[in-house]
Amino acid sequence: MASSPRRTVVCSVLPLLLLLAGAARAAGNFYQDVDITWGDGRGKILGGGDVLTLSLDRASGSGFQSKNQYLYGRFDMQIKLVPGDSAGTVATFYLSSQGSAHDEIDFEFLGNASGEPYTVHTNVYSQGKGGREQQFRMWFDPTADFHTYSVVWNPTHILFYVDGTPIREHRNREAATGVAYPRSQAMRVYASVWDAEEWATQGGRVRTDWSRAPFVASYKGFAASGCASQDAAACARSNGAWMYQELDATALDRLQWVQKNYMIYNYCTDTWRFKDGAPPECATK
């Protein structure tokens, strides 16, 4: 089982590379660690930098990005999602590079009408190609309190965790299948709350009730431990614990429990979408 998502892991590279490029420290204060990039005041840093809220109304949503960008690492965020009737809204926590051939690792939280559960939507893009969705319900109310959502990204695995429990594993099968894996483009950490009423809730059948705006999601406990060098070769030699992290037998059992009981969509088993067979990266061996 992976270590607790609240545990700080410090990235280091070979001593000379550490002197030349440095390694990202664990983050702890939103004033120091992120820039609010859009929303015209709808993003607010509170509590001396401990909490950041993002809000959405009919005019605009809001979002922020990390000051640092990373090539491999572990990224944790505690989030309390929009409570009540949040239909049509999406809150996010994700990593992304830039450009049309970008890489991206997504947590997206699709809002709901009152009394219906949130959908936790995950996706992985490589070289601009996504479409690798897995969706889950959670085993708790994600609006009642903060819960920790984590991504581990290293040369062989991308792992998604909720409160330290693995919910998804995406392996690097590039050598065997030719399907690109995110391994050369540095990514920033992003978060946002935005209007997706055209599709987010029951395929857009349930629209946003704007009388309930503003819709507010709260973020705290951002911790990023990763290689902040722009030298891919240097980052490939990082020795942070996340660099070698994978799922042991206990964690695999937990992953299978989540996927059996809480997964509601897996692109690898979508025979309507992939009539000629699942994409090659879905292979189990």
Catalytic residue flag (residue 197): no
What's the full length of the chain, in residues?
A: 285
The residue behind tokens 């997964």 is 263
* 48 located within any domain: yes
Query: What distance in Å separates the CA atoms of residue 236 and residue 181, rounded to the nearest whole number?
Result: 14
Number of domains making up the chain: 1
* 202 located within any domain: yes
pLDDT at 88 over 60: yes
* 111 located within any domain: yes
**Per annotation, catalytic residue among 108, 169, 198, 281:** 108
* 16 located within any domain: no
Catalytic residue flag (residue 169): no
- CATH number for the domain including 266? 2.60.120.200
Question: Model confidence over 179-212: pLDDT tens digits?
Answer: 999 999 999 999 999 998 776 676 767 788 899 9
Cα angle at 219 between 217 and 220, to 5 degrees? 155
Residues 86-94 have a mean pLDDT of 94
* 282 located within any domain: no
DSSP-assigned states of every residue in 16-80: HHHHHT--PPPP--HHHHEEEEESTT-EEEEGGGTEEEEEE-SS--EEEEEEEEESSEEEEEEEE
Residue 113 binned pLDDT confidence (cut-offs 50, 70, 90): confident
HSE-CB of 168 using CA atoms within 13 angstroms: 30
Neighbours of 154 (CB within 10 A): 23
Quote the pLDDT of residue 207.
85
Query: What distance in Å separates the CA atoms of residue 193 and residue 15, rounded to the nearest whole number?
Result: 40
pLDDT at 8 over 50: no
Neighbours of 279 (CB within 10 A): 17
* Segments forming the whole domain that contains residue 50: 30-277
Tell me the pTM: 0.89
* 110 located within any domain: yes
* 10 located within any domain: no
* 148 located within any domain: yes
